[in-house]
Amino acid sequence: MSIDATAAQTPPAGLRETKKQETRQLLSDAATRLFLDQGFERTTIAEIAAAARVAKKTVTNYFPRKEDLALDHQDAFVGSLARTVADRAPGESALTALRRAFAEAADTTDPVAGFAPRDFARMIADSPTLTARLRDLHDLREAALAEALAKTTGVGAGADAGADTGAGADARRGDLAARTAAALFGAVHRMLFERVQRLTLDGRDAAEIRADVTAAAEHAFALLEPSLGDYATA
């Protein structure tokens, strides 16, 4: 077979990527319907494959773990705070950027901030597996934020240097500052995420939840202002 003939039978990269995204969405939608109908823990990969009319291996190729099908925004979630810090405007501190980004997420009821339909929030709350996975994702998000803060404040490989004086000590102090700041910022976002979920389960409508968590966010971020107001200013 000639090169030209082979190329003619191979879809362009853009079409292949589109097809992959369509398949991924098909699997996620089929899984979500089953999770909501019969619960996450009771639903099997085989049932999801049958509902989507694909082979079981296709499901696991796209989603290695069952919880990935339910929490399909997890990549965006884990990287969200780090991206906010990396993309902050000139003269903007990490705290200011994160405060602004959360306000925008609340205004648009972004799923990454915890906004979801009540039945979906209930599905997560009722599943020990998904609840545990969410805790893991919060930890991963905090770690990604710590790395971004360390990078933006100039903390390098010297953080692990052996000497307790000079550049090694400075780097270690900078690394400690980045990790501490990330832990505090992460705690605020974890609290706000859980607050959104709790209010959703309580039956509050979107407008009430937005107003509540926006006020809670302003108060929580204000508590960090004295110590972190100017930290990691671009």
pLDDT band at 149; cut points 50, 70, 90: very high
Instruction: Supply the DSSP symbol for 11.
Output: P
Mean pLDDT confidence for 75-81: 96
Same domain, 79 and 45: no
pLDDT greater than 50 at residue 7: no
Q: Which two tokens stand for residue 177?
A: 């500052």
DSSP notation for 111-179: GGGT---HHHHHHHHT-HHHHHHHHHHHHHHHHHHHHHHHHHTT--GGGG-S-SSHHHHHHHHHHHHHH
pLDDT single digits (tens) 209-221: 999 999 999 999 9
Picking from 79, 100, 78, the residue whose alpha carbon sits closest to that of residue 89 is 100
Same domain, 99 and 130: yes
CA–CA separation, 176 and 150 (whole Å)? 9
Amino acid letter at 216? Answer: A
pLDDT greater than 80 at residue 10: no
Please give the pLDDT value at position 11.
56
Helix, strand, coil shares of the chain as percentages rounded to 5?
Answer: 75, 0, 25
Q: Is the dihedral of CA 52, 54, 58, 59 positive or negative?
A: positive
Same domain, 132 and 165: yes
Identify the domain containing residue 56 by its residue range. 3-70
Instruction: Identify the weakest region by mean pLDDT among 20-24, 57-61, 78-82, 170-174.
Output: 170-174
Same domain, 65 and 82: no
Same domain, 9 and 94: no
Same domain, 163 and 58: no
pTM listed for this prediction: 0.84
CA–CA separation, 56 and 52 (whole Å)? 10
Please give the pLDDT value at position 167.
56
Please give the pLDDT value at position 72.
85
